[in-house]
Structure 1
């Protein structure tokens, strides 16, 4: 559903005044207008609108999720409703069609709403539904990026990033206007919502937004050429999957040549469906590869706990342990060994955090060989063969492929 003129519904709590509009006849030139309702352009407008909408949902009987304040849940008898809010756009799902229709009528009475029907397109994300599950992709958004960069006629390439790119200490000419580079990187960052294969490339290129150089721009255009090879790539959230949650974590020790900080990468699957992934630079310098791997494990466990909390909010009781797959035996030993020594005192908080989850059997640690570590693609640039091998295992599919192998 979509809300018409959403910001006009908000009630202002602060005293805000504005000049009289042009053409208004006034005797006293010192008179101004005091706003009672929010307007577009005010800093308070989004917060006022969300407060107004939240009040209406809470009055109906919804509860606001603590794990994500934009999610509201309603449970009464055997009826369940879930609302996901993004500014003036709402996704509504429910267990009963009659209850969903009744709630829509309630919203339409409170606000000027438009029912857009079944979910097909939301925030540049295309959604296709079938008995196989939900397929999410951003094909139109990817094609818009290719069109904006004028690379529709460019030759596509098989992988987005070269292994030895040397961008960190690059001395090529500074771009006269960095705005196109920043705009392109902003688009690629959002494109990564349904494209795990872009995570590491975008992570590297986003570090040069302050002073982008010519070679940085060419590397970004290489990612665009990679998009052209398969703009319809997306993820499939399977309907017939099991409830097993598996997390893969990896770290590349001292990857950053400037700060010598390590790069963390993790990837989470719900059954066979990819649900969460991330590439980011660690906040502190690690003194060993085991330490950097352990910090990556702690970040993954934190994300796993959040996902389990969200499942509980949605009414899913996930009781079995979550599996953490790590290719560092040293990191697993630190998590399993209750004894502390001098080499682990400086990561004591992470040690306690992960070890408590192991003791309570909330997670189970397993060792995986480096060649089968799915999170490896999120920590370092790899060649074409390795990139394609890992990409196929991540659960990325193309709905527009002629073979139609996913049954959507």
Structure 2
């Protein structure tokens, strides 16, 4: 559902004045200003005022604000659930309590000017498609527009977004005469990673050179577009009936950044058959060993698992289990399970030992996994075609063509 003139519904919690708008000046009192009674479009307080209004309405309708996401509201009645997700002036309403959903839509239409847009198919560039057995999530239209915008719609496709073990450098190659195209390309690809975890690592590497892009960096980004062309029909697939349980994978590429020697951390979490959360990020400091790099990656994944479990609790889903977290480094697993601090771990920042607490409380279970089967490798390094495609299949990314 869409709220008409959403920002005009917000009530201000402080006195705000504005100059008289052109064409509506009071000539007799030209030095007067207007005192606003309600929020107005363009006012920096308007989004907050509108959120306060819609949140107040939903809470009075016996919805509970989720702890994990402040824009998510949940109502449980007779073992059935209704969920409202607020994004500025757009509302997504779902759940299995059809009577409550109908009542909520009626109440919203009475209180605000609403436009019902029907079943969710497009939302902020994301496309949702359903069948009786599964749900597909993609950005196919956005990807086509991206390729067309940068003249790559007829380009030659390629099977991987980045060369195997590619090492880009900040100071090698010629400077680009105009970096604007590079900035636009990388920014557009960052948004595409919302449904394309397979390009997260490559896009993350390209984004490191936004300040002073060079020709090799632009060529690397163009390769990503060629890969997008090759996989434009790929969607994230979520099957109905699969066991709903969070499973995580984490990895680190020790000293993988050629310029700073910082490690790249990657993690991915599966819920049932599909991937729901992923990250590829360069660490802010240098790790002194592979064990430390992997341990830090696992700690970062542990934070994400905590948030995901809280989100599941907010949605009243079963959470009485330890989240399995798969790692391919035995030393990092032993360090997480060992309650005794060793001299070799003194330099590791205290907040990374958050992982150890989670393991000792049995909220998280560390599992050894073979490197060749480790999905998180997709988020930390460039891979050859065979291995890349094999790991991509584990993310349950499928082509419908």
**TM-score, length of structure 1 as denominator length:** 0.94
Distance 1:352 1:213 in 2: 39
5+ residue gaps in structure 2? none
Distance 2:175 2:4 in 1: 44
Distance 2:351 2:371 in 1: 23
CA-CA distance at 1:16 after TM superposition:
2.5
Tell me the alpha carbon deviations over residues 45-82 of structure 1, each in whole angstroms, 9 at most, x when there is no partner.
Answer: 11111111111111111111111111111123444211
Residue pair 2:157, 2:229 contacting (<8 A) in 1 also: yes
Alignment of 1:257-406 (within 5 A): 257-347=258-348, 349-350=350-351, 352-399=353-400, 401=401
Distance 1:336 1:162 in 2: 36
Residue pair 2:167, 2:258 contacting (<8 A) in 1 also: no
Distance 1:103 1:9 in 2: 18
**TM-score, length of structure 2 as denominator length:** 0.95
Residue pair 1:243, 1:318 contacting (<8 A) in 2 also: no
Count residues in correspondence. Answer: 400
CA-CA distance at 1:362 after TM superposition:
1.8
Residue pair 1:250, 1:297 contacting (<8 A) in 2 also: yes
Do structure 1's residue 8 and structure 2's residue 8 form an aligned pair?
yes
CA-CA distance at 1:191 after TM superposition:
0.7
Residue pair 1:17, 1:35 contacting (<8 A) in 2 also: yes
Tell me the alpha carbon deviations over residues 258-316 of structure 1, each in whole angstroms, 9 at most, x when there is no partner.
Answer: 32211101111123211111100112221100000000011111111111111111011
Question: What's 2:58 paired with?
Answer: 57
**Higher mean C-alpha deviation, range 323-332 or range 37-46:** 37-46
Residue pair 1:263, 1:279 contacting (<8 A) in 2 also: yes
Task: Give the root-mean-square deviation of aligned CA atoms.
Answer: 1.6
CA-CA distance at 1:121 after TM superposition:
1.1
**Shift in alpha-carbon separation, 1:350–1:232, aligned structure 2, 3 A:** same
Alignment of 1:166-245 (within 5 A): 166-245=167-246
SS of residue matched to 2:76 = strand
Distance 1:267 1:77 in 2: 34
Distance 1:144 1:251 in 2: 34
Tell me the alpha carbon deviations over residues 174-203 of structure 1, each in whole angstroms, 9 at most, x when there is no partner.
Answer: 233322221221111111111110100110
CA-CA distance at 1:348 after TM superposition:
6.1
Residue pair 2:252, 2:265 contacting (<8 A) in 1 also: yes
CA-CA distance at 1:164 after TM superposition:
5.0
Residue pair 1:335, 1:351 contacting (<8 A) in 2 also: no
Distance 1:26 1:77 in 2: 62
5+ residue gaps in structure 1? 402-408
Distance 1:245 1:326 in 2: 15
Distance 2:78 2:164 in 1: 56
Distance 1:278 1:373 in 2: 15
Distance 1:21 1:365 in 2: 62
Question: What's 2:124 paired with?
Answer: 123
Distance 2:99 2:244 in 1: 29
CA-CA distance at 1:395 after TM superposition:
1.1
CA-CA distance at 1:23 after TM superposition:
2.5
CA-CA distance at 1:338 after TM superposition:
2.1
Do structure 1's residue 147 and structure 2's residue 148 form an aligned pair?
yes
Tell me the alpha carbon deviations over residues 314-364 of structure 1, each in whole angstroms, 9 at most, x when there is no partner.
Answer: 011222221111110110111122221111122263564222222232222
